[in-house]
Amino acid sequence: MSQLSTKPINIYFITIVITLGGLLFGYDTGVINGTQFYFSKYFELTGALKGFIVSSALLGALVGAAGSGILSKGIGRKNSLIISAILFAISAWGSGLPSMLPESISLMVFFRIIGGIAIGIASMNAPMYIAEIAPAKNRGNLVTFYQLAVVIGFFVVFLVTYYIGNGLSETENIQEGWRHMFWSELIPALLFFVLLFFVPKSPRWLMIKGKETEAKNILTRIHGEEVAEKEFVEIKESIQEEGSEEKASVFSKSMLPILIIGVVLSVLQQFTGINAVLYYGADIFEQALGFGKDDILQQQILLATVNLLFTFIAMYTVDKLGRKPLLMIGGFGMLLGFLLMGFTLYFSDYSSVNSAGLPALSPTEGIISLIGILVFIASFAMSMGPIVWVLLSEIFPNKIRSAAMAIAVAAQWMANYFVSQSFPVIVESEVNKLQIDGGVWNNSLPYFIFSGFIVLIILFVWKFIPETKGKTLEEMETLFEK
């Protein structure tokens, strides 16, 4: 007869292991930035085809997120993450296959979609798992570990791609370097897979499945007997009052408003333009800002560093200042950054040229535009980046959490796909061309479009987002009844 373990579980160890899913999310989406500059030339891609390959992983993420609710409900948060780890490894291996010839674009798309499915599963299950095991007093801080891991993934992959790319000639990078960049993801993917076997299942999922003894044991090992007893009672009462997760409907009269708020928040996070900057940063630095090829990867590392540092600010303040103030402050910061960049581009005469002979901003204009991007990234990293994941993981009631998270995250990936697919098309459109070439917006159009959406974010947060800091997941359910 098996005995339940009494060995204490360190909440930070669990959090770090689970957030490796976030690191892989960042790594997998970030690796496309370092590689696309070279495989675009290898495959001789047009702007539209480049957009499709880059965003193909997002289609997979949409599928993964949409199906993750059923998967998470059926086999649990932990087992869902194990599946995502396997898919990450398959995608990393397949995306750089030596058999990936110039005519095999469809094979590249297939493995990018596999990686996207892994991202979709992980992006829904990881923050939800952390929220379900974290104490109310520092749940915000622990869930922001997930976003920290995402930006660490971006940071690490930019360093890795810089190291690989810098050690090879441009010809070697076009033929082989981008393959090694993809293969580097195998290391964190396999580490994630192994460590997942050392974390427990979600106690709230176990309670929903009727495994109360096992759930109470895990709560006790994580929080201690006194806190565990209180949480156990609250979870049990919540489930009994609301009914089982299987019977609950996210589209019921009481649940639909919460779902709509979560979906809109998810979509608006993507319409800030964050992933246009992260996926196409190399193109932005070369084409819009006029930086030479030698500077591009260095600028990417600077961008990733700012992203990382300001995520720490969010982690430190989310349970002190609260969720809503950070979203408001970050919203105004993002708006300032993109307006600074947009107006600088719009009024530039592009009288200089870069090392590749392309029209470029003057050195002063280039620095001002770079500052604009960095202000945007810093503001996003301390607000919409981590706080949206915190809110999504905590605002949905127990009975609909899996289904509602799946819908909200799927909507996020659909918006991400739309932005990533349309950004290169808008950039290369006739109306966005330089004024000296007959265009109207002088390369600035995308950033004014994103600024408009950021204004909507500020208004939406002010009107519809309640403050949730310090409340248990069960107490959260009364917030939207007011």
Write down all domains in the chain, each with its CATH number in brackets. Answer: 11-199+243-481 (1.20.1250.20)
Instruction: Name, of 86-95, 96-105, 128-137, 399-408, the range with top average pLDDT.
Output: 86-95
Higher pLDDT: 314 or 235? It is 314
| C-alpha count within 13 angstroms, C-beta hemisphere, residue 80 | 31
Tokens representing 125 are 């299950």
State which H helix or E strand residue 247 sits in. none
pLDDT tier at 60, thresholds 50, 70, 90: very high
Long-range contacts of 252-258 (CB under 8 A, 24+ apart): 254/481, 255/397, 255/400, 255/404, 257/480, 258/395, 258/396, 258/397, 258/404, 258/480
Provide the 10 A C-beta neighbour count for residue 237.
11
pLDDT at 246 over 50: no
Quote the DSSP letter at residue 135. Answer: -
Strand partners, 352: 360
pLDDT tier at 296, thresholds 50, 70, 90: low
Measured CA to CA, the distance from residue 171 to residue 9 in angstroms comes to: 50
Do residues 478 and 143 make contact, with C-beta atoms less than 8 angstroms apart? no
| pLDDT given at position 283 | 66
Of 385, 383, 393, 404, nearest in space to 476 by CA: 393
Average pLDDT, the chain: 86
Strand partners, 353: 359
* Residues 6 or more apart whose Cβ sits within 8 Å of residue 200: 9, 14, 78, 133, 218, 221, 222
Higher pLDDT: 336 or 51? It is 336
The share of the chain scoring above pLDDT 70, in percent, equals: 91
Measured CA to CA, the distance from residue 132 to residue 331 in angstroms comes to: 28
In degrees and rounded to multiples of 5, residue 346 shows phi and psi of: -60, -40
Strand partners, 360: 352
What confidence tens digit (pLDDT) does each residue in 168-195 have? 888 888 889 999 999 999 999 999 999 9
| pLDDT given at position 388 | 94
pLDDT tier at 293, thresholds 50, 70, 90: low
What confidence tens digit (pLDDT) does each residue in 404-447 have? 888 998 999 889 888 887 888 898 899 999 898 888 999 899 99
Determine which of 33-47, 111-125, 276-290, 434-448 has the lowest per-residue pLDDT on average: 276-290
Q: Stretch 46-58: mean pLDDT, rounded?
A: 78
What confidence tens digit (pLDDT) does each residue in 148-159 have? 898 899 889 888
Quote the DSSP letter at residue 429. Answer: S
| pLDDT given at position 134 | 84
Rg (CA), the chain: 23
| pLDDT given at position 475 | 73
Query: In Å, how far from its chain's centre is CA 199?
Result: 23
| pLDDT given at position 73 | 87
The reply to whether the predicted model has a pTM over 0.85 is no
Quote the DSSP letter at residue 201. Answer: P
pLDDT tier at 477, thresholds 50, 70, 90: low
pLDDT tier at 2, thresholds 50, 70, 90: very low
Measured CA to CA, the distance from residue 315 to residue 368 in angstroms comes to: 28
Measured CA to CA, the distance from residue 78 to residue 18 in angstroms comes to: 9
Determine which of 23-37, 43-57, 67-81, 422-436 has the lowest per-residue pLDDT on average: 43-57
| pLDDT given at position 99 | 74
Measured CA to CA, the distance from residue 153 to residue 23 in angstroms comes to: 4
pLDDT at 458 over 80: yes
What confidence tens digit (pLDDT) does each residue in 347-397 have? 998 887 766 677 878 878 888 988 999 999 999 999 999 999 999 988 888
Q: Stretch 236-252: mean pLDDT, rounded?
A: 65
